[in-house]
Structure 1
Amino acid sequence: MNLPKDMKEFLVSRRAKVTPDQVGLPSAGRRRVPGLRREEVATLAGVSPDYYVQIERGRAGDVSDSVLYAIAGALLLNETEIVHLFDLAHSHNRHPVRRPEPGTERLPDGVQTMIDHLVGAAAVVQNRRLDLVAANDLGRALYSDLYEHHQQPNLARYVFSDDRAKEFYQDWDTTADFAVSILRAHAGKPPCDRNLTDLIGELTARSEEFRTRWAAHDVRSHQRGSKRLRHRLVGDLNLHYEGLEIPGTTGLTLFCFTAEPGDSATKDSLLVLASWAKTSPAEDDKGTAQTLQGRRESHQARHGASLDTPHRRIGR
């Protein structure tokens, strides 16, 4: 990663998003660039224009935390953006203020056993490169395309290089935005992750959609939310997810996916998918679809409720 270049492009992109009106400055007069001028940011942050220019160019040496916080306030940065600014600044300081995060990427003993015992929830563990490093049976079934067609399951590579992703993610554009902004946030963190740099280089070379999003310098965290998926075996799924960072590791996060409250159709489909995952039938798609159809009908007979809803399907 070119940290001075990243610092410049990040701050320039944030300046462009803030209007003078938002920070109480007059907006009269012709502006050659969108958003705030460098001189205006310097005034708001209480530093000299020359010093701010050096900071923006990544040439200011050891920038104090107080100055970074002042710049963050001037640019109306959110919490994730503030962390990213500090990561970029401290990564190329001569005397870094922050220490690298403790821990390793090794999955702690007991985590796999814990997620294997989760009932009704698809669970996966991902690192900061968005590799899937662990999963329970239902998690593997949920992301079956990744596990069946990719030697190293990686969510970002799947989103931008596998045509199946645009069918799987019903909100593909939002998912793509999240994937890039998460990689961007982690790319600035010390220590340098060569594998992450290689992944970014690979996706930049392969995908125009990735390149466009990467150039926006958006960063965000990814801890909870909703996903609308269209699974090739059980159809539409409306899922809620929660992410929990695993203590003592570097960037490992456990994500659990459950049906949205009140969505009985998704809950039933997860039960069917879990049933398939436990037996792992070695069948082609047609045979698997027939097997799942039989299980859906059996589940319906036992519980007296239909799993068939509009726009739901079995197989492709």
Structure 2
Amino acid sequence: MDLRTEIREFLSSRRARIAPEQAGLPAYGGNRRVKGLRREEVALLAGVSVDYYVRMERGSLAGASDGVLEALASALQLDEAERDHLFHLARQSRAPRSPRRRRPAVAVRSTLQQVLDAISDAPAWIGNGRYDVLAMNQLARALYSPVLADPRRPANTARFVYLNPATARDFFVDYDQVAGDAAAKLRMAAGRNPHDEELIALVGELSTCSELFRQRWASQDVRLHRSGRKRMHHPIVGQLDLDVESLELPAEPGLHLNIYTAPAGTPTADNLALLASWAATQQTLATELEAHNG
């Protein structure tokens, strides 16, 4: 991942989506050769010289102050995730060049696993910006059993979505949205850690093996990890319409605690209870089998 290329493609893609009238500018002439805003129009809106904006769009953000970045974000009508991504790219531009680095495998602390295990009525798991599943409680293991069918560890939900699309489409009711969010959150992670070797390898693998991922990655879209709704069709209990809370763990930078719940008395709550019962049965059978083999 070349940082200058990332900056150039991100800024040009955001510029291309804004029509002059959306920015309050007159659209002179009916035959514009440029899709969206021209560079000089962005420079005008951001209050910088055309030459300065051209240098920024060519990948040079190292000298841009926070005030200039804020003005640029306003001119390009960036949302919160896009603004954060722009600032991360600028921060990386200012940092000394460093080689690719393999980050050490994150071992989730035993106390965090205890927290997960204490959440007995809701699936809960801890993941990172690469979509690695690092720790789960029993109900999350039951919920994500299709994802865990891949023997590779740590399990990775982005890999499941893009490299096992037939199963993933059956599992995620809103597959297209899930796929778009996965690529956009990986793009966000790349802006924060462009030298993360494992992230680079994952993006390379997905790009090589999935045309859909290549399309979504090329869109330059970014997303924040946030709360929302996730609809799944589980092979054991059927439809689950789950509320998702994704919480940052301040003591573990880059990790998120994800908890899935449903209002009491709803069909999804009933199906979660059924899934918990099934999971407990599977655990009992596994324990009995281990005792017998032992």
Query: Given the two structures, how large is their TM-score scaled by the length of structure 2?
Result: 0.89
Instruction: Work out the CA distance in 2 between the residues paired with 1:171 and 1:149.
Output: 21
Q: Distance in 2 between matches of 1:230 and 1:3?
A: 39
Report 1:123-142 matches (<5 A): 123-142=124-143
Q: Does residue 219 of structure 2 align to residue 179 of structure 1? A: no
User: Is 1:63–2:43 an aligned residue pair?
Assistant: no
Q: Find the aligned partners of 2:41 and 2:62 in 1 and give their Cα distance.
A: 22
Aligned-partner residue type, residue 278 of structure 1: A
Residues 18-57 of structure 1: pairs in structure 2 closer than 5 A: 18-29=18-29, 30-57=31-58
Equivalent pair of 2:207/2:213 in contact (CA under 8 Å): yes
1:181 Cα shift?
A: 0.3
DSSP 3-state at the match of 2:257 = strand
Any conservation in 1 of the 2:107–2:134 contact (CA below 8 Å)?
no
The residue number in structure 1 matching 2:269 is 267
State the 1:107 CA deviation: 2.1
Cα offset, 1:28, TM superposition: 2.9
How far the C-alpha of 1:65 sits from its partner, in A, is 1.3
Tell me which moved more, 22-31 or 8-17.
22-31
Q: Is 1:200 the counterpart of 2:203 in the alignment?
A: yes
Matched, 1:247 2:250: yes
Shift of 1:154: 0.3
Structure 2 SS opposite 1:164: helix
Work out the CA distance in 1 between the residues paired with 2:194 and 2:216: 24
Deviations 1:99-143 (A, max 9, x none): xxxx99442341111111113210011111000001100000000
What is the correspondence of 1:8-157 to structure 2 with a 5 Å cutoff?
8-29=8-29, 30-59=31-60, 61-93=62-94, 105-152=106-153, 153-157=155-159
> Does residue 226 of structure 1 match 2:232?
no
Please say if residues 104 and 250 of structure 1, whose CA atoms lie closer than 8 Å, have aligned partners that are also in contact: no
Unaligned residue ranges in structure 2 (runs of 5+): 98-103, 286-294
* Structure that is richer in helix per residue: 2
Residue 267 of structure 1 aligns with an amino acid whose one-letter code is A
Q: Distance in 2 between matches of 1:238 and 1:94?
A: 43
The C-alpha deviation readout for 1:156-189, integer Å capped at 9, x for no partner, is: 0000011210100011000000000000011011
Question: Alpha carbons of 1:269 and 1:183: their partners in 2 closer, same or farther (altered >3 Å)?
Answer: same
Give 2:180's aligned amino acid. D
Deviation at 1:274, TM superposition (A): 0.7
Give the CA deviation at 1:263. 5.7
| 8 Å contact from structure 2 (residues 61, 90) kept in 1 | no
C-alpha change, 1:104 and 1:160, in structure 2 (3 Å) is closer
1: CA distance, partners of 2:106 / 2:249:
10
**Contact 2:120/2:139, CA 8 A, preserved across alignment:** no
266-275 vs 106-115, which moves further: 106-115
* C-alpha contact 2:248 2:254 (8 A) present in aligned 1: yes
C-alpha change, 1:277 and 1:145, in structure 2 (3 Å) is same
Note the C-alpha offset of 1:281.
5.8
Q: Distance in 1 between matches of 2:213 and 2:95?
A: 32
| Preserved CA contact (<8 Å) 2:162 2:206 | yes
Gaps of 5+ in 1: 97-102, 284-316
8 Å CA contact 2:3, 2:194 repeated in 1:
no
Q: Is the 8 A contact 2:227 2:244 kept in 1?
A: yes
Report how many residues are paired.
276
Residue 256 of structure 1, aligned match among 255, 259, 267 = 259
User: How far apart are 1:223 and its partner, in Å?
Assistant: 1.3
> Which AA in structure 1 matches 2:234?
H
